[in-house]
Amino acid sequence: MTHKIFEIISDLTVENDIEVYVIGGFVRDKFLARAEKKDIDIVVKGSGIDFAKKLATHLGIKKVNIFKTYGTAMFYYDDTELEFVGARKESYNFDSRNPVVTEGSIEDDQKRRDFTINALAISLNKKTYGQLTDPFNGIEDLHYRTIRTPLDPDITFSDDPLRMLRAIRFASQLDFRIDDACFEAIKKNKDRIRIITAERIHTELNKILMTNKPSIGFKLLFDSGLLEIVFPELYQLAGVSTQKNISHKDNFLHTIQVVDNLAKLSDDLWLRWAALLHDIAKPKTKRFVEGTGWTFHAHNFVGARMVPDIFNRLKLPLNEKMKFVQKIVDLHMRPIALVEEIVTDSAIRRILVDAGEDIDALMTLCEADITSKNEKKVVQFIENFKLVRRKIVEVEERDSLRNFQPPISGEEIMEYFKIPACKTVGEIKNAIKEAILEGEIPNEKEKAWEYMIMKGKELGI
């Protein structure tokens, strides 16, 4: 143990004759040699709040956050969040994940932990400093990379259904397997997830999305039956339809492969959400067309319209982040169409104008969307995307179209032609935009002004 706060706490235990342990994620990650966590859980036999106050006074820290309902206290020291809780027992009512709490021993506190790997405790007491307390063989589970509950998993998951999502999230984060009995208990108790708030659910989904290989978590969500409940749109992507010996790919497996591909390219959470939702409308738009096969016409447009409802239900932010995801879902087919055709300057100008500052994110998603098992085809697509990226740079440098705004406003058109706001103003403004995008005139005010006058004459004004 390396954090200097532990020695200070140890000295204070002697003065106050109190048992104190560091427990949970910090201990787990220490044994796994993962990056040191910036939050540490301290469990105290007695009042965690009282001990936190004494330690804060000793350290000269004035701001201590007290949460009386939960019997916890928290403050920051040396850029680390320290949370203190009194050792406790817990019992649950069926309709709530909020426990009835009573004071208990350190062993009682370890029993209430979600998983054996999070129940590991290291003594901060002078006489036993550094000794590990591991009543549930958490060290063995770390060695065998297993997620297991300290007590009966059926009771554990029924008492607090959020732990089912946490089990899957930890399996995804740590690349661990979930113990067979635990996974069966998750499947048995999956409907209990309905008592968990959308905010809690999306927090776990975000953490799964931010792992190195999110597909691990999403496959477990699917196999457990939880996905059908918490994210039915994603669940409905699964499966393959066959008609006249023609099948389409499994869009769920394709989607989570795209998310994995993107995870290697970007750590932007909202771009990962865009990857997760990019084909979300395929079940709604699926059609079998004679002579063509399976089509998903306008799935990008329909998918973009689905994004606000999904974000609203999951209580994800309905702000610029949501609009970014919606925009990327809407546009994700455009670069793919470009690589399959001759890349014209006009097509590049249009995608630059529509994507704006998000053009790089859009291209990154489209590159991640290549999941063909045909290596030759993959190599060709990647080369084509490189060509599109080069063309984007060339056109952008020449025409300055990122965050494009027409060089002439509607007000200027009205003032020049002495006309009120009307359909004609929009026609002239759109004609100028089209002329710039088609390369007929440069993106310059003077040339746009000349074009505006010419267009006005054509329209007889």
Q: Answer whether residue 12 is part of any domain.
A: yes
Q: Which domain holds residue 418?
A: 410-458
Report, in angstroms and rounded to the nearest whole number, the Rg of the chain calculated over CA atoms.
Answer: 29
Residue ending a domain, among 376, 399, 422, is 399
* Residues 446 and 374 grouped into a single domain: no
Residue ending a domain, among 360, 380, 399, is 399
* Residues 395 and 414 grouped into a single domain: no
* Residues 90 and 138 grouped into a single domain: yes
Place of tokens 């088609």: 438
Residue ending a domain, among 144, 174, 195, is 144
* Residues 349 and 440 grouped into a single domain: no
Q: Answer whether residue 169 is part of any domain.
A: no
Q: Answer whether residue 54 is part of any domain.
A: yes
Q: Answer whether residue 176 is part of any domain.
A: no
What is the torsion angle, in degrees rounded to the nearest 10, for the CA atoms of residue 371, residue 378, residue 386 and residue 334?
-50
* Residues 379 and 422 grouped into a single domain: no
Number of domains in the chain: 3
Helix (H) or strand (E) holding 44: strand 39-44
* Residues 41 and 102 grouped into a single domain: yes
CB within 8 Å of 430: residues ≥ 6 apart: none
* Residues 435 and 299 grouped into a single domain: no
Q: How far apart are CA 235 and CA 232, in angstroms?
A: 5
Helix (H) or strand (E) holding 26: helix 25-31
* Contact yes or no for 232/314 (Cβ under 8 A): no
Q: What is the pLDDT of residue 242?
A: 86
CB within 8 Å of 64: residues ≥ 6 apart: 52, 53, 56, 73, 74, 75
Q: What is the mean pLDDT of each run of 10 residues along the chain (461 residues)?
A: 82 85 95 86 93 93 88 91 87 60 82 94 94 96 97 93 98 97 98 96 98 98 98 96 88 97 97 98 94 92 98 97 98 83 81 91 94 82 85 81 80 92 91 89 90 90 82
* Contact yes or no for 362/350 (Cβ under 8 A): no
Kindly report the CATH number assigned to the domain that includes residue 17: 3.30.460.10
Q: Answer whether residue 251 is part of any domain.
A: no
**Residue count (the chain):** 461
* Residues 440 and 371 grouped into a single domain: no
Q: What is the pLDDT of residue 184?
A: 98
* Residues 303 and 431 grouped into a single domain: no
Q: How far apart are CA 91 and CA 102, in angstroms?
A: 9
Q: Answer whether residue 309 is part of any domain.
A: yes
CB within 8 Å of 2: residues ≥ 6 apart: 36
* Residues 385 and 452 grouped into a single domain: no
* Residues 334 and 452 grouped into a single domain: no
* Residues 416 and 384 grouped into a single domain: no
The pTM (predicted TM-score) of the whole model is 0.86
Q: Answer whether residue 115 is part of any domain.
A: yes
